[in-house]
């Protein structure tokens, strides 16, 4: 077994959505990482093995954590193939395990990401075939080994995806209605809102309950990957099952009970309410998450509550005129019925901010899942 880059440097890369960098950095610090350096759509950081498993298991903000195997200058497809074959892939795979490759290529002689990914995959399966006449299968949905190839300005890096797939897929979303937000985005909203379960939280446009479920996990200290069945780090040659079991057991024992009425929400659509209940049922039995069918206009109002929500926006839901009217009415509702509360509103479309008729105290741009949105904070006096 050779020394791979992550072993000699103990350095990893966490990928996140644009605008979440400060939250990612904060989270890495809290989870024990060192030498954290922000970069484009992510952060580099150093961690020992124990800390690394802890980060992959608990991160709410990062969508991928990558362990680099090699980095090299790469000007052609041929050289990519040849260099990838220098790795002994039996360190990571056997014939009974499956693999997949994700690739991102930019500003390089190699132009096509998909093709570049295929070359890496070919180099791996050809190596097995030459040695054994057989090859491991590809499984793009649930691979045992997920590799990431990144080529930027003709510099290539091959990494193992330690989550084995995007970490935003927590595993609780068994049902959804239109326009659910990414779980990592909902977690970022809660972190920017600095909500830690001290004040009641309400989402009046809860949809399938992503914000509510993330709030539930956050308040109950439930590891973000609690329901995840496979992890990519299990395929690393130095994977230590004893250390991983200790980390997992300790984290699972640190969940805490959630007081009644702490986390609540509603939605106009009865299917949404059904979806929230189904999704909540996937999470551990540490408290309640109350949800009901209601138009926000019929709600009695909120005192001393943290409202975190993602109202409809024109791009995906409804037409712009309808959305404009709804936001104006929601602004009036906040002004008239929510004194003493704080509202955090994520607009999937930045042009909608002015429609609320309230001046935000601050705004934070966040891009995720194809949305170029903004989170605004309102203190309601
Ligand atoms: C952008 S979606 C929320 C998505 C949610 N954050 C999630 O992750 O699933 C907006 C939601 O507002 C709901 N909605 C629309 N008009 C409403 C109204 N007047 N009162 C309450 N909910 C409403 C829709 O049914 C939809 O589920």
Q: What pLDDT does 234 receive?
A: 97
Q: Which atom of ligand 1 is nearest to the CA of 329?
A: 19
pLDDT digit string (tens) for 10-20? Answer: 999 999 999 99
The predicted pLDDT at position 320 comes to 75
Residue with tokens 């780090």: 233
Flag whether pLDDT at 2 surpasses 70.
Answer: no
Please work out whether the CB of residue 177 comes within 6 Å of at least one atom of ligand 1: yes
| CA separation for the pair 240, 298 (Å, rounded) | 54
Return all residues near 7 (Cβ < 8 A) that are at least 6 apart: 238
pLDDT in tens, 311-323: 998 755 556 788 9
SS3 279: helix
CATH tag for 183-224+256-379 (out of 1.10.10.10, 3.40.225.10, 3.40.50.150, 3.40.50.1970): 3.40.50.150
Among residues 244, 198, 215, which one has the least CA distance to residue 57? 244
The count of C-alpha atoms lying within 13 angstroms of the C-alpha of 129, restricted to the half-sphere facing its C-beta, is: 8
Q: Which letter does DSSP use for residue 19 in this model?
A: T
Q: Is the CB of 269 under 6 A from ligand 1?
A: yes
- Residue 295 and residue 312: Cα distance in Å, rounded? 13
211 Cβ inside 6 Å of ligand 1: yes
- Calculate how far, in angstroms, residue 300's C-alpha sits from the geometric centre of ligand 1: 18
Residue minimizing CA distance to atom 3 of ligand 1: 207
Predicted model pTM: 0.95
Q: Which top CATH class is 5-161?
A: alpha beta
The bridge status of strand 342-347 relative to strand 362-368 is unpaired
Q: Which residues pair with 38 in a beta bridge?
A: 43
Q: Is the pLDDT of residue 131 over 80?
A: yes
d(CA 298, CA 53): 46
Task: Tell which phi-psi region holds residue 301, choosing left (phi > 0), alpha (psi between -120 and 50) or beta.
Answer: left
Residue 242's SS3 state is helix
Q: Which phi and psi (to 5°) does residue 50 adopt?
A: -60, -50
pLDDT in tens, 348-379: 999 999 999 999 999 999 998 778 899 999 99
Ordered by start, the domain boundaries in the chain are: 5-161, 183-224+256-379
Average pLDDT, the chain: 95
């Amino acid at each position: 077994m050779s020394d791979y880059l992550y072993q000699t440097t103990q350095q990893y890369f966490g990928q996140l959505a644009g605008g979440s960098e400060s939250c990612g950095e904060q989270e890495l610090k809290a989870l024990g990482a060192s030498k954290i350096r922000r970069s484009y759509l992510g952060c580099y950081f150093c961690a020992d093995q124990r800390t690394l498993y802890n980060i992959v298991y608990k991160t709410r903000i990062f969508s991928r954590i990558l362990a680099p195997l090699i980095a090299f200058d790469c000007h052609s497809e041929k050289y990519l193939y040849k260099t990838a074959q220098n790795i002994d892939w039996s360190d990571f795979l056997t014939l009974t395990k499956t693999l997949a490759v994700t690739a991102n290529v930019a500003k390089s002689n190699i132009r096509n990401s998909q093709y570049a990914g295929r070359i890496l995959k070919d180099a791996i399966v050809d190596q097995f075939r030459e040695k054994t006449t057989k090859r491991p299968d590809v499984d793009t949905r649930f691979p045992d080994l997920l590799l990431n190839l990144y080529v930027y300005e003709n510099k290539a890096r091959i990494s193992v995806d330690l989550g084995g797939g995007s970490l935003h897929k927590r595993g609780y979303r068994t049902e959804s209605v239109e326009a659910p937000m990414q779980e990592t985005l909902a977690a970022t909203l809660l972190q920017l809102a600095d909500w830690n379960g001290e004040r009641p939280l309400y989402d009046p446009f809860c949809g399938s309950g992503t914000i509510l479920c993330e709030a539930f996990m956050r308040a109950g200290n439930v590891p973000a990957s609690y329901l995840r069945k496979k992890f990519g780090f299990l395929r690393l040659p130095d994977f230590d099952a004893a250390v991983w079991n200790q980390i997992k057991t300790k984290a699972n024992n640190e969940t805490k009970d959630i007081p009644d009425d702490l986390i609540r929400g509603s939605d106009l659509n009865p299917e949404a309410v059904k979806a929230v209940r189904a999704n909540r049922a996937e999470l551990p039995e540490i408290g309640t998450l109350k949800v009901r069918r209601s138009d926000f206009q019929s709600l009695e109002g909120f005192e001393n509550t943290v409202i975190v929500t993602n109202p409809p926006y024109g791009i995906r839901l409804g037409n712009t005129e309808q959305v404009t009217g709804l936001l104006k009415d929601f602004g009036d509702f906040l002004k008239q019925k929510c004194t003493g509360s704080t509202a955090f509103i994520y607009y999937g479309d930045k042009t909608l901010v002015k429609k609320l008729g309230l001046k935000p105290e601050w705004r934070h741009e966040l891009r995720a899942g194809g949305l170029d949105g903004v989170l605004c904070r309102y203190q309601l006096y």
